[in-house]
């Protein structure tokens, strides 16, 4: 091996060790160890032990082998941290939905339909509703922006003839008093929750009650009805799975966009993972580029016309909220 190649290899190993050490230290710091002092001491100890090992050990190969063995033990311990459905949850995610399937009829239990005064002052309301898959006639993509164009929260809404749409939002299940952090989302800090709700809950929360308001865009997809049914049932399958066995949310791998891609791929759909999925604000453009949205308009014009904040505010708590916000939207036919 040439001297230059050896230098490159050592540099790559050093970067890998630094990243692994940072991950392990943060993993301990945000672990389920009850004592904050113990978590802090262990996190600092991991960093110091790594630095001292490589600084004092002359035989770097042995130092690396010992480090990798210790890191493997850490991974084994980390993998034992289990999610739970029994915590002191925030009220908005305290109730998990689940579904009962009888042929074409799907009864969704605990569909959320909160009545809001402010974002944090609301009256929890839930109901059960039966949906007929034979009447499933549309699937809409909803993108919510609050911090620029690169990041969005993506939801899917299923429309049934003669009924309001049923909207699914993939979120973090936070405990009482807990705040969301993208960094903490890498470290088993949040369970995963699928919120099944009326659109007037999930959309008006963002257009009317968040401060500042968030920008909501609603797009009609071109998904064939047969695949729409399969996608809906993938959501049902995951909702029932989480009801029986909790899972962790992950900022990168298990979130509101990657899980949608996973559901589409489960029945052979064309969705693929790429940077527009990881930077979720570009997910609608990705779907457009894949032919999944109305392409009779340039995407920027489609996006501008798909903004529903004014219509959502005007519709208020109307029982036909879903129909009202779609009036005049591209491809909606209202």
The yes-or-no verdict on residue 271 having pLDDT over 90 is no
CB distance 248 to 254 below 8 Å? yes
Q: Is the omega angle on the peptide bond into residue 285 within 30 degrees of 0, that is, cis?
A: no
Asked whether the CA dihedral 205, 209, 213, 218 is positive or negative, the reply is: positive
% of the chain with per-residue pLDDT over 70: 99
* 289 domain-assigned: yes
Coil/strand/helix, residue 100:
strand
* 86 domain-assigned: no
Q: What pLDDT is stored for residue 235 in this prediction?
A: 98
Q: For the segment 43-101, what is each residue's pLDDT rounded down to a tens digit?
A: 999 999 999 999 898 888 899 999 999 999 999 999 999 999 999 999 999 999 999 99
- 73 and 95: one domain? no
Read off the pLDDT of each residue in 112-134 and give the average, rounded to a whole number. Answer: 96
Asked whether the CA dihedral 157, 244, 110, 201 is positive or negative, the reply is: negative
* 333 domain-assigned: no
Q: What pLDDT is stored for residue 132 in this prediction?
A: 97
The owner of tokens 């230290």 is 25
**Residue 333: pLDDT band by 50, 70, 90 thresholds?**
low
Q: Is the pTM of this model over 0.85?
A: yes
Give the residue with greater pLDDT, 276 vs 141. 141
- 58 and 171: one domain? no
- 201 and 297: one domain? yes
* 148 domain-assigned: yes
- 66 and 174: one domain? no
> Which run of H or E residues covers position 313?
helix 309-315
Residues paired with 127 in a beta bridge: 111
Count of domains for the chain: 2
Give the residue with greater pLDDT, 188 vs 332. 188
Q: How far apart are CA 216 and CA 169, in angstroms?
A: 13
- 222 and 193: one domain? yes
Q: What pLDDT is stored for residue 58 in this prediction?
A: 85
CB distance 113 to 198 below 8 Å? yes
Helices (H), 30-132: 36-56, 60-79
Read off the pLDDT of each residue in 174-183 and give the average, rounded to a whole number. Answer: 94
Q: What pLDDT is stored for residue 193 in this prediction?
A: 98
The yes-or-no verdict on residue 5 having pLDDT over 80 is no
SS (H, E, C) 242-287: HHHCCCECECCCECCCHHHHHHHHHCCCCCCCCHHHHCHHHHHHHH
- 267 and 120: one domain? yes
The owner of tokens 């809950």 is 201
The yes-or-no verdict on residue 1 having pLDDT over 80 is no
Residue that terminates a domain, selected from 79, 109, 128: 79
Q: Which domain holds residue 38?
A: 3-79
* 84 domain-assigned: no
* 191 domain-assigned: yes
* 332 domain-assigned: no
Residue that terminates a domain, selected from 79, 106, 126: 79
The owner of tokens 């909790």 is 246
Residue that terminates a domain, selected from 16, 46, 79: 79
């Amino acid at each position: 091996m040439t001297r230059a190649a050896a230098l490159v290899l050592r540099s790559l190993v050093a970067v890998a060790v630094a990243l692994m050490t940072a991950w392990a230290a943060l993993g301990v710091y945000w672990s389920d160890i009850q004592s904050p002092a113990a978590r802090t001491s262990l996190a600092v100890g991991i960093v110091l032990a790594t630095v001292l090992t490589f600084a004092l050990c002359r035989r770097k190969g042995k130092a690396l082998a010992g480090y990798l063995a210790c890191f493997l033990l850490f991974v084994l311990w980390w993998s034992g941290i289990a999610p739970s459905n029994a915590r002191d949850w925030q009220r908005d995610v305290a109730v998990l939905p689940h579904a009962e399937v009888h042929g074409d009829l799907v009864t969704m239990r605990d569909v959320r339909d909160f009545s809001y005064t402010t974002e944090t002052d609301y009256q929890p309301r839930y109901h059960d509703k039966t949906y007929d898959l034979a009447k499933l006639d549309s699937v809409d993509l909803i993108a919510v922006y609050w911090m620029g164009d690169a990041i969005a929260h993506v939801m899917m809404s299923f429309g049934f003839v003669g009924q309001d749409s049923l909207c699914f939002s993939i979120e973090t299940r936070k405990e009482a008093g807990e705040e969301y952090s993208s960094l903490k989302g890498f470290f088993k800090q949040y369970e995963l929750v699928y919120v099944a709700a009326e659109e007037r809950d999930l959309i008006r929360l963002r257009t009317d009650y968040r401060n500042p308001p968030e920008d909501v865009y609603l797009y009609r997809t071109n998904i064939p009805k047969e695949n729409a049914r399969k996608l809906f049932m993938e959501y049902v399958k995951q909702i029932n799975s989480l009801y029986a066995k909790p899972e962790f949310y992950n900022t990168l791998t298990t979130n509101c966009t990657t899980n949608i891609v996973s559901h589409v791929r489960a029945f052979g759909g064309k969705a693929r993972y790429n940077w527009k999925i990881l930077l979720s604000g570009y997910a609608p453009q990705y779907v457009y580029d894949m032919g999944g949205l109305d392409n009779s308009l340039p995407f920027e014009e489609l996006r501008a016309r798909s903004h529903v904040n004014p219509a959502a505010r005007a519709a208020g708590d109307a029982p036909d909220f879903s129909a009202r916000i779609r009036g005049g939207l591209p491809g909606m036919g209202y």
